[in-house]
Amino acid sequence: MTADVGRWQSVLCLIFFTYLHLNFITVPLLSVLILLATGAINGTVIRDGIVGANGVKPLDIMALFISLAYLSISLDATGLLRFLAFKVVQKGGSSGRKLYAYLYIFFLICGAIVGNDPVILSGTAFLAYMTRVSGSLSISNPTAWIFAQFAAANMASVVLVSSNPTNLVLSGAFALSFTTYTAHSILPFLGAAALVYPVLVFLFRSTDLVPRAIDVDADNDVGAALVDKQGAVVGSALLLVTLGVLVGTSTIGVPVWEVTVPPAVLMLLRDIHHDWSRGRTVVASRRRSVPPDSASNDATSVRNQLELREIPSQPSMPEPCRSPAQSITLQAVFDRSRTRLSSSFPTVAAIAQRLPIPLLPFAFLMFILVQGLSAHGWVEVLASWWGAWARKTGVMGAIGGMGFVACMFCNVCGTNIGATILLARVLQVWIVSQPGLDRRAREGAIYALALGSNYGAFTLTFSASLAGLLWRSILQQKGIRVRPRQFLMLNLPIAITAMTASSAVLLAQVYVTRGR
């Protein structure tokens, strides 16, 4: 009997590990299910992980995040970021070093405003294109350009609460207003941005990486990059107004999702109307037997230039080989409906494909796991270890230690989202357990976590952030391969410089603002 049970267990394990694809969603999901099945966690823990506890409201955070993501990605889908990037290339002229500096600054500005994901989505594809079409003195190796873009996008995402979901977690956990958060993060970011650039120039000093002179002809591509001028105007206005209202209302207690969801819905309706109008133009043009130049060019631009993946076409179904009963299946109906919707609303479909929807279940699962650790006292243990370190090392140790721990945890806690959720809870327990805590250490540790959770994306592994996994995926699609060891060796000096510079500025800042 025992042998039979063991045999069945082996078979089940074999089936499980053969057919289950382990990734950043299935692993935490499996962990939650095992903990639930063994009684280690209960329904209350799951509810607190979804609805919220200890000042963190996952539902509000995710609603804010996905609505801002739609606004940013929709704006990117208009071609605005590519259009501006081509303008920057024109300003750089024939000087490779000047263009390198201009693009670095451009990605910093875009990353601060729209967040790192849109910059990764659009900027990486743009750089791959730019390095392919450079003229007689071509940029044969894109390494210097893509690593500068990746570092700039992730450094800049620390500036605004809305630029990274890790910032949203922190602002919710410690009740930080948008203005307070940015006021404390802007100077450390500027310090890092200023010192990282010389490091990039030194690392990529070879003329094979950043040529002295280049010949990139962007004149013919500028106009074609902006595929939806009206959408660019509407999207820019909505995004800027939304960020302005968030800043203005962050001190009066208005739920942030109530500010961001309505503009996202307005942008969605505009995109639907845009696709519907364009589709009617195509139909009218076909009826007149006139090639629908503008509409077809628009649709082609949306699909071929802006999407990471082509919209799946309807699978071929050899009707003579299938019976009617076999042809009418739920999957076939779903595929037909999806293809029809994608054809009718290509812009909305392209944006939907690029939305970080998988982040939602991942974040909720991580909230549940951290809540489970808290329920069993493990967060308190970690908080006691952190408290001992902070007592021994003071304010400097609180800032430097949390910055280092946050960067490292990004590589082992299921991306920087998981690291931020866990470490924010640790800091909460640490602060509550020590009523007389030095305000400089408290404030320094919180913002060091903000810096580390953003900078941790460019430290050791691609999986330190979803942006890193996305960046690698886009590069592979463009035929550019970045090896894991290369990622580590090139990013490590950049990350060390960024974290050291920001920590030094943050240390000086807390002493100036909080006194001695």
- What burial letters (b/e) apply to 182-221, b meaning 16+ CB within 10 Å? bebbbebbbbbbebbbebbbebbeeeebbbeebebebeeb
pTM score, whole prediction: 0.78
> How confident is the model at residue 33, as a pLDDT?
86
Consecutive sets of 10 residues in the chain, 516 residues long: mean pLDDT of each? 51 55 78 85 84 75 84 87 82 83 93 86 82 58 92 94 87 88 95 96 90 68 79 90 81 77 93 85 59 46 41 38 52 72 85 83 84 85 94 94 94 86 93 88 95 94 87 86 94 96 96 78
Rounded Cα–Cα distance for residues 403 and 362 (Å): 23
Q: Residue 206: what residue type?
A: S
> How confident is the model at residue 292, as a pLDDT?
47
Residue 218: which residues within 8 A CB-CB, separation 6 or more? 86, 89, 90, 130
> What is the SS3 assignment for 134?
strand
> How confident is the model at residue 253, as a pLDDT?
67
